[in-house]
Structure 1
């Protein structure tokens, strides 16, 4: 059975961070800081595809192996009760070529 793009659930990872949301946002939003943990080489385009200032930013990513599938990774920041942050990474494989490239095995890209 082959899953279609619409049926593939996103990969969601959550990280508790000691830093306040404003500091995490700065690390995500400033390209020179973002490059340290999400390199330009991992991105299909270095410009974000969507931004909700202070809350979420989305980038298009490209796999580094054929068939070079693309996906969207959204980095969402939520305030934590202890003054820190919850960083939610939502990685959605939404490339239209996924069904054609998927030969019965599910191809997962590296999560940010």
Structure 2
């Protein structure tokens, strides 16, 4: 069963880093794998009590130095995460994240989410 929803999270930040540096963090696989992963730490549930979770990230599109879109599969939920970057006039970056639930399926193979207009 597949459901569509209008659920989304929109966040905007002002970063001190230059847009080119933010772009690399969003597109170089080694950097992406460092910051787009599950947190670990003292407050985490012990391993034997934690729920199993799969976490998959696939590139949908990339517009150099301005926008990157990934589909994100976390267990059975599939969402689209759009990262937008732009110079903010003070040497830093205006960084926006839009996270939209694309579909959820209780018993299906992962399907490529529909592309939405930005």
TM-score, length of structure 2 as denominator length: 0.66
1:12 is displaced (CA, Å) by: 0.6
Runs of 4+ residues deviating >2 angstroms: 39-45
Q: Which runs of 5+ in 2 are unaligned?
A: 39-53, 107-118
Q: CA RMSD in A?
A: 2.2
2: distance between equivalents of 1:86 and 1:42?
A: 27
The structure whose residues are more often strand, as a share, is 2
1:5 is displaced (CA, Å) by: 2.6
2: distance between equivalents of 1:44 and 1:33?
A: 13
Q: Does 1:61 align with 2:59?
A: no
| 1:15 to 1:43, Cα distance in 2 relative to 1, 3 A | farther
The size of the alignment, in residue pairs, is 89
Q: Does 1:12 align with 2:7?
A: no
Please give the residue correspondences for 1:1-112 in structure 2 after superposition, counting only pairs within 5 Å. 5=4, 8-39=6-37, 42-45=55-58, 48-64=59-75, 68-95=76-103, 97=105
Query: SS where residue 77 of structure 1 aligns?
Result: strand
Cα deviations by residue, 1:23-74 (Å, 9 ceiling, x for unpaired): 11011110001111113963343xx11111111111111124xxx1100001
2: distance between equivalents of 1:77 and 1:33?
A: 16
1: distance between equivalents of 2:91 and 2:78?
A: 35
Q: Which runs of 5+ in 1 are unaligned?
A: 99-112
1:96 is displaced (CA, Å) by: 5.6
